[in-house]
Amino acid sequence: MEVKIGVQNANREIVLESAQSAEEVADAVAKALDGSAKLLTLADEHGRKVIVPADRLAYVEIGEPSVRKVGFGTL
């Protein structure tokens, strides 16, 4: 699923395709915003991690889960 993260004082947003569920991403964001975690840490589909300081979060947009279609019948 696509996750967009807005960071304060940054011109561009961070966009990643995450293998985590929407609930897992929402829980990580909630923990970062309520102060129980100082960092928002998310993993993308390739195993890379994105770490953003919680006090710099502007917004987090959680997209719909994407289903990958394969083959000629999906056109």
Indicate the domain borders of the chain.
2-67
Question: Which residues, including other chains, have CB under 8 Å from residue 10's CB and lie 6 or more apart?
Answer: none
- What is the CATH code of the structural domain delimited by 2-67? 2.30.30
For 6-59, write each residue's pLDDT tens digit. 999 999 999 999 988 999 999 999 999 998 889 999 999 888 999 999 999 999
What is the pTM for the complete model shown?
0.79
Residue 56 contacts residue 8 (beta carbons within 8 Å): yes
